[in-house]
């Protein structure tokens, strides 16, 4: 990710993804958001099965590192 992110610029992110009705930037947002959706689904299943779960917000992770 550290190698890819610096290569992203406005013109590239604004380009229409090949054969699709969205831009590269919109696809990037979708990929990140979709991963979050799956994380929530897994946590819900774990909770329903009685497994302990914990706060998932990155903010709380950072606070825990202090």
Query: What pLDDT is stored for residue 48 in this prediction?
Result: 97
Query: What pLDDT is stored for residue 27 in this prediction?
Result: 92
pTM of the full predicted structure?
0.62
In the chain, how many domains are there?
1
Query: What pLDDT is stored for residue 26 in this prediction?
Result: 95
SS (H, E, C) 8-66: CCHHHHHCECCCCCCEHHHHHHHHHHHHHHHHHHHHHHHHHCCCCCCCCCHHHHHHHCC
Query: What pLDDT is stored for residue 2 in this prediction?
Result: 87
Q: What is the phi/psi pair of residue 15, to 5°?
A: -70, 145
Is the pLDDT at 1 greater than 80? The verdict is no
Chain segment 7-63, per-residue pLDDT in tens: 889 999 999 999 999 999 999 999 889 988 999 999 999 999 999 988 888 898 899
Decide if 53 contacts 60 (C-beta within 8 A).
Answer: no
Structural domain range at position 54: 5-64
- For the chain, how big is the Rg over CA atoms in Å? 17
């Amino acid at each position: 990710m550290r190698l890819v992110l610096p290569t992203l610029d406005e013109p590239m992110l604004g380009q229409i993804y090949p054969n699709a009705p969205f831009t590269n930037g919109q696809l990037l947002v979708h990929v990140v958001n979709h991963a979050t959706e799956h994380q929530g689904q897994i946590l819900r299943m774990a909770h329903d099965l009685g497994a302990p779960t914990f706060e998932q917000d990155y903010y709380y992770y950072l606070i825990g590192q202090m």
